[in-house]
A and B are shown apart, each in its own frame.
Chain A
């Protein structure tokens, strides 16, 4: 797309809904993003420890670990990592809390893919 020829943006996608993870990866991949899907907070941290990412999209509510906790750990490991939070409708309060902990932005689920990509590109420009 706009980053034609450049190195593909590496995205860490964290959500405990496997179906969501799968389809989102396919669609982002089609749009030239390098997506690494993980289905839990602990796995996200494990993967992030091994490789670096340009951005992370993290679901706020997960069974094993709260999205905010994942955010905090990721920011400690890589302060420059742009973390975008996905939240259910009605949990904006928690999302704003995430902003306070250094998240780049948040989106309410379900969201338009174009909105998500817009946030990701915006995070890479800044």
Chain B
């Protein structure tokens, strides 16, 4: 592909880049926004789903645990109601009852004991020998006395293993007897220990002071971090509190807590966020992959399309350029054609003289006898004349050929004045027979112009040709003036011809617009001039008065790289 020479590759690269940027921004931005909004909404929805799940879970298990504790308490209460203190003092009876309860509840009850008002255990049934154990001063006893029913916290007590106590009062003669049952820690612990949430989630129970009431499946940090915060909060009955925080190992973790057992215990759940949000994270990863792949595809496709488009544009540009060159060429040939008649006549005269002189020599030589001195001199003169006329022909063809050369768009330093003289030399024959006088006023020492000599020559030829054509048979004057003003070179071609109607002035630079008779003008001349001058960064202007004449002014920037030294102008003339 031949790129347009007047448009550098830089131009097409910038065009490609802009196209790609535009397409990428326009297509990726909405994708980005939509994706971000969707991901955000999805995350919100997922977050509430996770929290809801935790809440439901905690509420369910709180109910289960509450129900468990309540039922155990109820069992003891039934015993205190159905037995008298005297009956309860009988350890063997307690043993019977304990056996019944153990059978019924699968060994949840470890032992039963009766504590007298002084705090001494007076009757006991169970695996340990605890008759006579003195609980006076034990914290749980004080609290149990204070309430009607009592469920203790987990503690080691006399037996040294974790357990908790369920107790109910029995009043006799104003004195407070207490029936207490020990609940098997393992059984209770199993209630919460087996609750699993995802891969990393687990549940445990704390009291309000932060003492563990069950054995968590993995170690939990209570002294600091989220649980300390949660313990400080006033947990509302029936509500689940959820916070998210990094744990001691810096893993984002979700903590959930709800109060139970009349707010004295807290059921706690803890799960790593990455586990809880595993599906969300997978969806996010999938979305990211799709986005990245889609983005890459968009960039690639837009790059490909832009390249293809720009290549087409470049092709169209170079075709246009080639068309322009052809049009200039066509216009050039047309203007030469217009001159051809005059030039043909100009060449006819010397040819006719040569033919006649040759005939004359023949005439002289056909005489009989030896040639006289005089005749020889006459032949000499005739030969001289033939040579002179041959030279004349050569001059004419040289002039014509200098114009008929193919247009060469190569930019050189051109001397405007020299160009004017060449063009006038070419047009002079035509103008002479048209009764047109061509005068010039060429400013000396003009700097050269950077332009294609053949193109600029054509501009001048068109203007001068038009000026001569504008003058009708009664004759007139064409004046060509060159001058310099600041950095610009002005070239004015004025004629005293028919002028241009005001209504036509706006259209004279349009291609194929002509007022000449059909077959005499292509309508390309001025449009080509306009194109060439425009390309050189100059401008062409026209003023005209109908019936008085027209003036075309071409303004060209002087070649900035050159001083107006005549040396460079001469250099241009020689090239």
Which residues of A come within 8 Å of B, CB atoms?
Answer: 17, 19-20, 23-24, 26-27, 30, 61-63, 88-91, 109-111, 113
Contacts and interface: CB of A to CB of B under 8 A. Distances in A.
A2 to B, nearest CB: 18
A90 B342 CA distance: 9
Given A19-B389, A20-B353, A23-B353, A89 B348 contact: yes
Contacts of B389: 19
Interface in B321-375: 340-341, 344-345, 348-349, 351-357, 359-360, 363
A24 B345 contact: no
B348 A109 contact: yes
A30 B363 contact: yes
Interface in B363-408: 363, 382, 385, 388-389
Given A19-B385, A90-B341, A27 B352 contact: no
Contacts of B354: 110
Given A19-B357, A61-B433, 20 more contacts: A17-B353, A19-B385, A20-B352, A20-B356, A26-B360, A27-B360, A30-B363, A88-B341, A88-B344, A89-B344, A89-B348, A90-B344, A90-B345, A91-B341, A91-B345, A109-B349, A109-B352, A110-B351, A110-B352, A113-B359
A19 B363 contact: no
A27 B356 contact: yes
A90 B352 CA distance: 15
B7 interface: no
Contact of A110 (B341, B355, B360, B388): B355
B348 A113 contact: no
Contacts of A27: 356, 359-360, 363
Contacts of B363: 27, 30
Contacts of B341: 88, 90-91
A109 B350 CA distance: 10
Contacts of A26: 360
B432 interface: yes
Given A19-B385, A23-B382, A88 B345 contact: yes
A61 B345 contact: yes
Which 8 residue pairs across A and B have the least CB separation, nearest first? A88-B345, A110-B352, A88-B348, A23-B356, A110-B355, A19-B353, A109-B352, A17-B349
B499 to A, nearest CB: 24
Contacts of A17: 349, 352-353
B396 to A, nearest CB: 13
Contacts of B345: 61, 88, 90-91
- Could you say which interface size class chain B belongs to? 20 to 34
20 contacts: A17-B352, A17-B353, A20-B352, A23-B353, A23-B357, A23-B360, A24-B356, A26-B360, A27-B363, A30-B363, A63-B432, A88-B345, A90-B340, A90-B341, A109-B348, A109-B349, A110-B355, A111-B352, A113-B356, A113-B359
B307 to A, nearest CB: 55
A109 B353 CA distance: 10
B159 to A, nearest CB: 140
A118 to B, nearest CB: 15
A40 to B, nearest CB: 13
A10 B243 CA distance: 135
B353 A63 contact: no
A63 B360 contact: no
Contacts of B349: 17, 20, 109
A17 B348 CA distance: 11
Nearest to B354: A110
Contacts of B352: 17, 20, 109-111
Interface in B531-547: none
A23 B356 CA distance: 6
A17 B359 CA distance: 17
A110 B348 contact: yes
A30 B389 CA distance: 23
A8 B348 CA distance: 30
A30 B360 CA distance: 10
Nearest to A65: B435
A23 B341 CA distance: 25
Contacts of A30: 363
The listed residue with most B CB atoms (<10 A of its CB), out of A23, A63, A88, A91, is A23
Contact of B385 (A23, A24, A90, A113): A23
B492 to A, nearest CB: 27
A24 B345 CA distance: 18
A74 B86 CA distance: 177
Contacts of B359: 23, 27, 113
B545 to A, nearest CB: 28
Contacts of A62: 433
Contacts of B344: 88-90
B285 to A, nearest CB: 87
Interface in B14-62: none
B402 to A, nearest CB: 21
Contacts of A91: 341, 345
Contacts of A23: 353, 356-357, 359-360, 382, 385
A90 B355 CA distance: 19
Contacts of B432: 63
A23 B354 CA distance: 9
A27 B348 CA distance: 19
Contacts of A111: 352
The listed residue with most B CB atoms (<10 A of its CB), out of A19, A24, A89, A90, is A19
Contacts of B356: 20, 23-24, 27, 110, 113
B367 to A, nearest CB: 10
A77 to B, nearest CB: 23
Contacts of B360: 23, 26-27
Nearest to B348: A88
A88 B348 CA distance: 6
Contacts of B433: 61-63
Contacts of B388: 19
A6 B385 CA distance: 34
A33 to B, nearest CB: 13
The listed residue with most A CB atoms (<10 A of its CB), out of B345, B382, B385, is B345
The listed residue with most A CB atoms (<10 A of its CB), out of B345, B349, B352, is B352
Contacts of B355: 110
